[in-house]
Amino acid sequence: MRKFVLLTVLLVCLAAVFAVNAQGAQPSSLVVEDQFVFGNEINIPELHLDQDGFIVIHIDNEGAPGPVAGFRYLKAGWYINLKVEVDTTMLTPTVFPMLHYDTNANGEYEFAGGELDGPVVVDGNVLVAPMALTAINASDQLADGSLTIASVTIDQPGFVALHIQQDGAPGPVLGTVQIPAGTSTDVTVEFTNNDILPTTVVYPMLHYDTDGNGIYEFAGGELDGIVVTGGQPAFGPVSTGPSINANAQNIIYSDATAATMGDTSGQTPVFRANSVLLDQPGFLVVHIEQDGGPGPVAGVVYLEAGFYEEVEVPLDMLPIEEITTTVFPMLHYDTDNNGVYEFAGGELDGIVVVDGNPVFFATQIAPSFTEDAQAVSEDNTLTFDMVLADAPGFLVIHDDNGGAPGPVLGFVRVQEGLNQNVVVTLDQGTPSTTTVFPMLHYDTNLNGQYEFAGGELDGPVIVRDEVVVRPLDISGQ
């Protein structure tokens, strides 16, 4: 990771113009890292804003920050693994994340070289850092002899190789296309390998043309090898059959947050899917949990065949009190083509099945976390797939105290919303047993410091009268 740096003469000039020094004990800060971007979101490992402002992603302009590819408005506070949506067609192999203040407090990024929404400056340094990236932005799609990729970014000439899926990972190559250095848009990879059949998940992968001959020759060695950026190999999965892409999201709030929201009885909760792909007309159905699996239906939306982004499903078929904190988005076909969802356990409007598997999964809709049973790593950490918070706070690891949460072993800040791949360092103690108790807490005074001592300060998150905590097996078995 790299912390903020001062960039050449341009940023010296900016620092002179925008002498906005952070106040208080915790000045603004920024940490970035080189990375492979799959999709349209750049990850910022850590930042802190001492006032409301923006994280702005500038593309490269001859070694200095240039035009803006994307930005995100932020309230003052700490952020870990923050995602910033960008226009991937603008990307350059180096980008410059930069912090700016919202000087007129209107939530709109309006910097145009003057004082309005100017860069954050700490100790005379503009908070900006160069970051190397490669990127593939490819949507799920019904592929018929080819796959189209919206944009690809690479720092030297190479190839997009399209791999079929084999044992859940990239397998043989279905086709390749040569690409120049920089960003290419609307890249089409033809299925030219007639010896294999396409799978319902394929993997576009970036390779360098290491010998510069324009011929894809990778055979597992260094010749035309896989692009790796920031330790990440440059590939990702694309579905070519019916699929749902949806993240954990706040629909049911913690008791404390709900108490501040006023009367919401007239509002219909909405489940949002990032994308849906259907090969014939059907439905996106959201089931509540029952006995650990899909139960009654909370909401349905009808869709024609095709690819959809930002699909909203009103959860209007059950009272909010009956909607569980875990739900199951599921695809169904409209088997009789009448646009009315009629599934009752038989073949009518039956569940969509791909490669023998019904298309559904469990996801969280209230403050929560998910993880796999694991051992403490060599660098004394535990990793959580997802932490969903409805306000800034902490994921705190408590030691086992006779089957209940005990002393704190470590904690990490989490931001409001979805936090992914959350790593907690156990730097305050050693587990006394093979069980620990992860627990969500609020940062009630928004200072980024975990200060809970049994009172209301930084207290635990409670959902429907239950503290968000559960035991975690760390035996590694």
Helices (H) and strands (E) in the chain, counts: 2, 37
Q: Which helix (H) or strand (E) holds 13?
A: helix 8-17
Angle (nearest 5°) at CA 14 between 52 and 133: 75
Q: What is the pLDDT of residues 293-312, one digit of tens each?
A: 999 999 999 999 999 999 99
Between strands 435-442 and 41-49, the pairing is unpaired
User: CB burial class (10 A; 0-12, 13-18, 19+) of residue 55?
Assistant: buried
203, 252: one domain: no
- Which whole number is the average pLDDT over 358-378? 96
206, 249: one domain: no
98, 9: one domain: yes
SS3 248: coil
164, 252: one domain: no
Number of domains observed in the structure of the chain: 4
Closest CA to 309 of 366, 353, 243: 243
Structure confidence at residue 238 as a pLDDT band (50, 70, 90): very high
Here the CATH number for the domain that contains residue 307 is 2.60.40
Query: In which residue are the tokens 């980024």 written?
Result: 448
Instruction: Specify the range with the lowest mean pLDDT, choosing from 224-228, 258-262, 467-471.
Output: 258-262
- Which whole number is the average pLDDT over 333-349? 94
79, 122: one domain: yes
Out of 104, 134, 164, a domain closes at 134
122, 222: one domain: no
Q: Is 63 left (phi over 0), alpha (psi -120 to 50) or beta?
A: left
Locate all alpha helices (DSSP H) within 86-133, ordered by sequence.
Answer: none
352, 377: one domain: no
Biggest alpha carbon–alpha carbon distance for the chain:
71
90, 174: one domain: no
Q: What is the pLDDT of residues 121-163, one digit of tens each?
A: 999 999 999 999 999 999 999 999 999 999 999 999 999 999 9
How far CA 458 is from CA of 253, 396, 419, 443, 453, in Å, comes to 17, 11, 19, 5, 8
15, 115: one domain: yes
28 pLDDT exceeds 50? yes
Q: What is the pLDDT of residues 411-427, one digit of tens each?
A: 999 999 999 999 999 99
Cα-Cα end-to-end distance for the chain: 32
68 pLDDT exceeds 90? yes
402, 353: one domain: no
129, 142: one domain: no
The span from the CA of 150 to the CA of 134, in Å, is 14
Out of 87, 111, 134, a domain closes at 134
Q: Hey, what amino acid is at 339?
A: G
Q: Contact 149/138 with Cβ under 8 angstroms?
A: yes
21 pLDDT exceeds 80? no
Structure confidence at residue 213 as a pLDDT band (50, 70, 90): very high
Q: Who contacts 189 (Cβ-Cβ below 8 Å, separation ≥6)? A: 146, 147, 148, 149, 160, 162, 174, 175, 176, 177, 204
33, 85: one domain: yes
Domain that holds residue 451: 368-473
Out of 89, 113, 134, a domain closes at 134
Predicted pLDDT at 291:
97
User: CB burial class (10 A; 0-12, 13-18, 19+) of residue 54?
Assistant: buried
